[in-house]
Amino acid sequence: MTPTHFVSSIRGGRTADNRDYAGFSSQEGHHLYLLADGSTSSFQGAELAQAWVRYMEQGFVRLTARQLCPDVIESDLLQLLNDAHIEVTRAFASASASYLILLLMPSEALVIHAGDCCFGRVDESGVVEWLTSPHCRANWRGHLSHAQIAVHVDRHSLTRCFSARREHFPQVSRFRISEGTRWILATDGFWADLAVAKQQQFLTLGWMPEPDSDDDLTVIDVRL
């Protein structure tokens, strides 16, 4: 199976620049999708997000065939992330970012994330089944739905993220893959700030409606 993907992004009105960044890399039948959402609290948020994406893209293509084997690829990606945490954050000490990684392998999908970027499966009607939860104070127990989190006062207070000021504890998930599956990687501007009807409109019609808030909004749409 050869996946296809496209990226859609809209800058919000909160900052003068779009602080969401997406990336892609592929080798030996392994396809890596990267999504980062730089913080708005620091002017370096966009630079951190972009630098992280570039670091991961370049690091992935340097992995050897042995490092891509199913029994070691997870640990190798986590090591690459740890290296990024040391190298990339050094230059952007005041900034933080949320991120999500999707690695499509021949037999399964590996997802690694920290922060409030989310991963979901899209059905034929454009409805999203969210498969990962955001790391935020609102959902510290992991018991709330995305709709409940979206309106919670503590949604923007992250419990995990990519930052020089915090230890790095990403969450790892694995999913089976099958032909015809459609996935999305989305920043919180999509899953939290865009009304569900507008999310479905985008996922069925393929064009991005005006957002319901001033946050940046980015989606990576992946199809097998």
* Residues 10-49: tens digit of each pLDDT: 886 676 677 899 999 999 899 999 999 988 777 788 899 9
The residues, ordered by sequence, that sit 6+ positions from 93 with a Cβ below 8 Å of its Cβ are 164, 165
What integer is the mean pLDDT of 178-184? Answer: 94
Among 24-33, 74-83, 168-177, 192-201, the range scoring the smallest mean pLDDT is 192-201
Average pLDDT value over all residues in the chain: 90
Among 9-18, 132-141, 166-175, the range scoring the smallest mean pLDDT is 9-18
Does the pLDDT value for residue 212 go beyond 70?
Answer: no
Look at residue 209 in the predicted model and tell me its pLDDT.
64
Among 101-105, 107-111, 206-210, the range scoring the smallest mean pLDDT is 206-210
Compute the radius of gyration of the chain from its Cα atoms. Answer: 16
What integer is the mean pLDDT of 166-184? Answer: 93
Instruction: Work out the pLDDT band at 100, boundaries 50, 70, 90.
Output: very high
Residue of 51, 41, 53, 47 whose CA lies nearest to 19: 47
Instruction: Name the CATH topology of 4-223.
Output: Phosphatase 2c; domain 1 (3.60.40)
What integer is the mean pLDDT of 124-137? Answer: 93
Does the pLDDT value for residue 150 go beyond 80?
Answer: yes
Q: What is the DSSP string of 66-89?
A: GGGSTTTHHHHHHHHHHHHHHHTG
Identify the residue whose tokens are 């392998």.
105
Higher-confidence residue of 118 and 145: namely: 118
Q: pLDDT > 70: what percent of the chain?
A: 95
Look at residue 153 in the predicted model and tell me its pLDDT.
85
Does the pLDDT value for residue 175 go beyond 90?
Answer: yes
| Domain assignments of the chain as residue spans, ordered by start | 4-223
Among 36-50, 137-151, 199-213, the range scoring the smallest mean pLDDT is 199-213
What integer is the mean pLDDT of 138-165? Answer: 88
Look at residue 88 in the predicted model and tell me its pLDDT.
93
Look at residue 161 in the predicted model and tell me its pLDDT.
92
| Residue 94, helix vs strand vs coil | coil
Look at residue 98 in the predicted model and tell me its pLDDT.
95
Q: What is the DSSP string of 159-218?
A: SS-EETTS----EEEEEE--TT-EEEEE-HHHHTTS-HHHHHHHHHH--PPPPSSSS-EE
Question: Which amino acid is present at 34?
Answer: L
- What tokens does 142 get? 């992991």
- Rounded to whole angstroms, the Cα distance separating 47 from 63 reads 25
Does the pLDDT value for residue 141 go beyond 90?
Answer: no
